Structure 1
Amino acid sequence: MDEQYQIRDVAELEAATGTPNPFVRSKIVTRLDELMIEFIRKSPLVFVATTDADGGVDVSPKGDPAGFVRVDDCGNLRIPERPGNQLTIGFRNILCNGRIGLIFVAPNQRETLRVKGCATLHKDPDVLREMAMNGKPALLYTHVRVEECFIHCGKALVRSHLWQPENWETTHRSIGGLQLASVVGARSDEEIDASAKRLETQYRDHLY
């Protein structure tokens, strides 16, 4: 990497990207407004960023039917947890460093909602039952005290063509499934197909 072109300070950064006008800065607020809450109600997917004690960053997707993230009476968030890979990397990060960042996406919405705040983990049985899916309560939930939030412009999603099926790749073979097959040592097409079927069984029968 040629360090000659490395950006080293804010002045060099702004020379490359420009500076936001006051209107853009003013959209960053400290509380969710009604339109942000409506966005959360429409969102079936949120990306959750956390950091560990050494500053290492992790990002994890959380998904469920639209509106699965709840907004409480104080304007803070509750994110339910479902069965997963049990690595709990993000949760371990929250236990040692409660800083959290969220990006909510919603189908056919080009904009995203960005939230920053402080997170804690909880297991109130009444709340877990309220968040039940398929008759099974949430395992736990993440409480996020909202400190900063704003609607992010839609240029990234416009460029990505995310909501335009005509631009989607047509192959149906899962890259994640192929990677999993390599981890377990699958080599032949039959072994790879068997590994993919096991993954599909997990998705079909063990979501909750």
Structure 2
Amino acid sequence: MDYHDPGFGSEGERELQKRYGTEKRANSFYDRQMIDYLNPRMQEYIREQELLFIATSDAKGECDSSFRAGIPGFVRILNEKQLAYPEYRGNGVLASLGNISENPHIGLMFLDFFKATIGLHINGKASIVENEEFLQSDNTPQEIRDDIATEDGKKPERWVMVEVEEAYIHCSKHIPLLTKQDKKIAWGTDDMKLKGGNFFGVASKVNSRKESGDGPT
């Protein structure tokens, strides 16, 4: 079969497609489902979402996955090639931002569990944008300015802006349809109980090891 270069995917993908005989199927997906911008339907979809999964890696390729959430539409569309999501107050580790500071490549995954049971992949390059930078730019949407002006726990500490390189569907067949229940969100809290406390029992184990002299020094 002739080599097909659709402009998407990695060398590793194509090598395995050839090895496992999935080239025809993959090329059809590249050609029919993958684009390098956010079309109007994708933008509409993002404005309805309140969940986002992100994947980053550092300069050595060590990976980290994480989760972001907010009110529906908390991820802001700047234009068809750019979006931005807020970084709210967290545990202070800054794992994702640390990776982005070394390696801009990022993968985003939106999953709609509550209506369409459809996912949207976005791959691209990320950069860290401070609130002040957005406020000083004439091109910043009013909705981002309003977010920054928020005085409660939903005030972003900063933003991650993503330049879109790939955008494509995640099919519905294995995405469960879930029912949302009421939950009061304690935005920006440092209260350990509200954050889940010691759910996995790690803190008590670490303290026990330190007391016994077996823990790291």
Q: What TM-score does the superposition give when structure 2 sets the normalisation length? A: 0.66
Looking at structure 2, the residues matched to 94 and 138 of structure 1 have their Cα atoms a distance apart, in angstroms, of 17
Q: Which has the higher helix share?
A: 1
Runs of 4 or more, structure 1, over 3 Å off, are: 176-181
Looking at structure 2, the residues matched to 164 and 19 of structure 1 have their Cα atoms a distance apart, in angstroms, of 37
List alignment gaps of at least 5 residues for structure 1.
Answer: 1-8, 166-175, 187-208
Q: Partner of 2:163: helix, strand, or coil?
A: strand
Trace 1:91-130 onto structure 2 (pairs within 5 A): 91-106=97-112, 107-125=114-132, 126=135, 129-130=145-146
Q: Which residue matches 2:166?
A: 148
Q: Which amino acid aligns with 1:153?
A: C
Q: Which residue matches 1:45?
A: 51
| Residue 105 of structure 1, CA deviation | 1.7
CA contact (8 A) 1:114 1:151 kept: yes
List alignment gaps of at least 5 residues for structure 2.
Answer: 1-14, 181-194, 206-217
- Identity across the alignment (%): 28
Aligned partner (choices 68, 86, 90) of residue 62 of structure 1: 68
Cα–Cα, structure 1 residues 163 and 53, in superposed 2: closer, same or farther, change >3 Å? same
Cα–Cα, structure 1 residues 74 and 154, in superposed 2: closer, same or farther, change >3 Å? closer
| Residue 133 of structure 1, CA deviation | 8.0
Aligned length: 165
Q: Partner of 2:74: helix, strand, or coil?
A: coil
Trace 1:7-86 onto structure 2 (pairs within 5 A): 10=16, 14-15=20-21, 19-20=24-25, 22-26=27-31, 27-86=33-92
Q: What TM-score does the superposition give when structure 1 sets the normalisation length? A: 0.69
Q: Which residue matches 2:184?
A: none
Cα–Cα, structure 1 residues 100 and 19, in superposed 2: closer, same or farther, change >3 Å? same
